[in-house]
Amino acid sequence: MSIFDKFQGLATDLEALKALGVMPFGAVIEEISSATQGVVQGCPVILAGTNNYLGLTFDPECIEAGRAALLQQGTGTTGSRLANGSYAGHLALEQELATFFGVESAIVFSTGFLATMGSVGTLAGPGDTILIDADCHASIYEGTRLSGAEVIRFRHNNADDLERRLRRLGERAADALIVVEGIYSMLGDQSPLAEIAAVKSRYGAFLMVDEAHSVGVLGATGRGLAQQAGVEDAVDFIVGTFSKSLGSVGGFCVSRHPELDLVRYKARSYVFTASLAPSVIASTRVALRILEAGHTLREQLWRNANRLYQALEQAGCRLGPHPGPVVAIEVGSKEQALMWWRRLLEQGVYVNLVLPPATPTGTCLLRCSLSAAHSVAQVDRIAEAMTALVQDHPNSSAA
């Protein structure tokens, strides 16, 4: 026996992909010239798989802020904030996040995954109960595993099922932690958050919303689905990331409970991780200001999202339940999905290929993420390339 034997199935699958001449996972972006254009594995492409929702990765103000911080404070912090100390920028960003969300407390983590995993895994512990939507992200599942709490899954986007499970907990429901997402990243569907918040309030539980894909996308000032649904007062914790609408890297947890600050002394993903580089903090702070005032960017993003969704719907594609910045086509087989991904790349469109078990429906997905930076011509080109595939293989993605 070898420690590597457990990977044999994976190795076989990767060899099969190489034999087909397709390697969609970890595709090499050899050049990137803007928020929407680059060269991927030798092919000049429209970037339609980046989650760069507001297109801020090339914003001049963000770049200049990062450059200035790089020159003034160096390339990195080389340690955790508890051990090495916090830079002034870290504290400023936390205060700005708290102000942006209108809450008492904020903690900045080094990635979105660490923020979600660390928050879930620290807020709940042995003897507690966590109820999570079945389609929650891997970081949430990892947090539940680390917590030692009892974990109960409820049916995806089903507030009635959540209520049934809370009812069975009896008095324990008042201390339970419910975790859902604003926009689910695979199919782009939204949580029925008003219904879930109402259930939460009836039982006195705590509610965490992962707004990773909805910050900057939903809400009057871009605070996410909780703002759009009008239920921010019922949400106890919001977690999210800087790597989507804010165009950088990092994550956060904010809360109206001042006790959140205690989490930074217990969350291993905060205590034992080097803090974000000053250049990342600086660019993120500028991006947050742009996001808050960026209703025109959100409007452009939604125009692009609706345009692509409607075009693909008319072409007969199997899509997620409603338009949004994530538009995913369901494809009948893994072989078909692999070939389609390669053909799209050759035709100048880069999207994400997602295969089971990562997909919530068990089907294969070609996942496209729109950006406010995409031009109408680029959106139309994405639609044309995808439509051509469906028309050539009408039974592979039919509504």
pLDDT per residue over 16-63, tens digit each? 877 777 777 778 899 999 999 999 989 999 999 999 999 999 999 999
Same domain, residue pair 267 and 379: no
How far apart (Å, rounded) are the C-alpha atoms in residues 326 and 356? 18
Q: What CATH number did the domain enclosing 259 receive?
A: 3.40.640.10
pLDDT per residue over 205-236, tens digit each? 999 999 999 999 999 999 999 999 999 999 99
How far apart (Å, rounded) are the C-alpha atoms in residues 300 and 266? 41
Q: Write the burial class of residue 73 (CB in 10 Å: 0-12 exposed, 13-18 middle, 19+ buried).
A: middle
Q: Write the burial class of residue 65 (CB in 10 Å: 0-12 exposed, 13-18 middle, 19+ buried).
A: buried
Residue 10 lies in a domain: no
pLDDT given at position 335: 86
Same domain, residue pair 268 and 324: no
pLDDT at 399 over 60: no
Same domain, residue pair 44 and 68: no
Same domain, residue pair 164 and 138: yes
Residue 364 lies in a domain: yes
Same domain, residue pair 284 and 341: no
Q: What is the domain extent for residue 350?
A: 28-54+295-392
Residue 357: cis peptide before it, omega within 30 degrees of 0: yes
Residue 276 lies in a domain: yes
pTM: 0.94
Residue 18 lies in a domain: no
Same domain, residue pair 248 and 196: yes
pLDDT given at position 220: 95
Higher pLDDT, 398 or 193: 193
Same domain, residue pair 116 and 192: yes
Same domain, residue pair 107 and 49: no
Same domain, residue pair 161 and 281: yes
Same domain, residue pair 382 and 340: yes
Q: What CATH number did the domain enclosing 49 receive?
A: 3.90.1150.10
Residue 23 lies in a domain: no
Domain final residue pick, 249, 273, 292: 292
Residue 20 lies in a domain: no
Amino acid at position 172, single letter? R
Residue 352 lies in a domain: yes
Q: Which residues are the active-site residues? A: 185, 213, 244
How far apart (Å, rounded) are the C-alpha atoms in residues 338 and 318? 17
Domain final residue pick, 270, 292, 314: 292
DSSP E strands in 60-205: the ranges are: 105-109, 129-133, 150-154, 177-181
Per-residue H/E/C for 177-215:
EEEEECECCCCCCECCHHHHHHHHHHHCCEEEEECCCCC
Domain final residue pick, 237, 270, 292: 292
Same domain, residue pair 250 and 193: yes
How far apart (Å, rounded) are the C-alpha atoms in residues 323 and 187? 10
pLDDT given at position 395: 57
pLDDT at 398 over 80: no
> How many domains are contained in the chain?
2
